[in-house]
Structure 1
């Protein structure tokens, strides 16, 4: 029997593992996107607390960013997955359910990635807000704009313009962090590559294929972010 080539191995043919790798890539994208959206929401809230909140809210936001940026991401994933499983098992025992109840791996990964990246997003949004010229907001107030109108027409578009480059960096971090979720058993790209390498005894081929797919996602997302930066920079002096 002739040895299977690399391209046959990752193809969608009879001996190919393409469908498995593709399904893993889709899970990776879904996990990264959901975690990134959660991190953006947390980051916006914590940035608001640091900028406009009272002293207690500012202290809370400072503690959040300091702690989450100072501990390993893998530790946060373990805390959510195994800690969540322990809580679910304890609740189950209250209702006479026996055995271990596992916390959903995808949910644990999304929450862990979102909360860890949220600490980065907090500083991104805070810096973007500080980059807005005070005169632009003062002019909006002088024109009689309400707080909601100022946010929609002035604050949000300008802050997003300044935040997008750094948000792109956070997205790349989130994409790489998603590979750590393989420890929870989620069938994302790295997990599927490990499955294929263990079944065929060709780890180099599968991990190279996984690396190429990660680069494909990264390249497409980088192109999309550049388009978004160009869109939100219309009319700005270069």
Structure 2
């Protein structure tokens, strides 16, 4: 009841607004990381040659550097990076990087390294007979990837994708240090104004627990759908 009363003074709305920002940050970052990670997985699928070494360098950098440092790099130096890339082309732009954009870009690039390795391993675990059969039947490559290989790889990678989503969701709290008014930042402001840190930080904690808990049944439903037609081993 006390929390609801504080909501009448604006803190409930502020927490809700912060929760929406946190969810947008997590969803956009994860979707971009998934797309980029898939591209990296296909790019380095052979496991040898220049592509493989480029992928290993990328993965080593973004998995070995703290996510917070990447967020700061994009927030404070993102405009300079873009200008540096475009200036050789004769393109001059005036750009201001918002905390939200910096957070999405940083989380996407960091977790694309993890997802690229995960998806690559899943693709390699798809039976080689699937590729050979498609080649023998002259199946177009787009059908081979989008209708045959990737659905099977997604089924294999699903537990890892779910774990990565939960870890990325927790890392969204780091973006508040770059000035984003997400749930953590709003809870901190409310706690400082009311001198009730336990209440507001507990509310933020419950939000993350709730989203993580809702992820599990959703993943279970997706797994059941992807497993249709799979032969179950009898015990």
Query: TM-score, normalised to structure 2's length?
Result: 0.88
Larger mean Cα displacement after TM superposition, 192-201 or 46-55: 46-55
Q: Say whether the 8 Å CA contact 1:24–1:187 is kept in structure 2.
A: yes
What's 1:24 paired with? 18
Q: Say whether the 8 Å CA contact 1:50–1:57 is kept in structure 2.
A: yes
What's 2:130 paired with? 136
Q: Secondary structure of 1:140's partner?
A: helix
- Aligned-partner Cα distance in 1 for 2:79–2:204: 29
What's 1:79 paired with? 73
* 2:12 corresponds to 1:14: no
Q: Which runs of 5+ in 2 are unaligned?
A: 87-91
Quick one: structure 1 residues 58 and 89, their matched pair in 2 at CA, closer, same or farther if it must change by over 3 Å?
closer
Quick one: structure 1 residues 216 and 10, their matched pair in 2 at CA, closer, same or farther if it must change by over 3 Å?
farther
Quick one: structure 1 residues 137 and 11, their matched pair in 2 at CA, closer, same or farther if it must change by over 3 Å?
farther
Q: Which runs of 5+ in 1 are unaligned?
A: 1-6
Quick one: structure 1 residues 86 and 197, their matched pair in 2 at CA, closer, same or farther if it must change by over 3 Å?
farther
- Aligned-partner Cα distance in 1 for 2:81–2:54: 25
Q: Secondary structure of 1:51's partner?
A: coil
CA RMSD of aligned residues (A): 2.3
* 2:176 corresponds to 1:182: yes
Q: Say whether the 8 Å CA contact 2:21–2:182 is kept in structure 1.
A: yes
* 2:163 corresponds to 1:169: yes
Residue 227 of structure 1: CA displacement?
A: 1.2
Larger mean Cα displacement after TM superposition, 216-225 or 53-62: 53-62
What's 1:64 paired with? 58
1:105 counterpart (75, 99, 108): 99
Q: Say whether the 8 Å CA contact 1:10–1:209 is kept in structure 2.
A: no
* 2:147 corresponds to 1:153: yes
Q: Say whether the 8 Å CA contact 1:9–1:15 is kept in structure 2.
A: no
* Deviation by residue 1:48-91 (Cα, 9 ceiling, x = unmatched): 12114872222111100111111111111111111125568999
Number of residue-to-residue matches in the alignment:
225
* 2:235 corresponds to 1:232: no
Residue 222 of structure 1: CA displacement?
A: 2.4
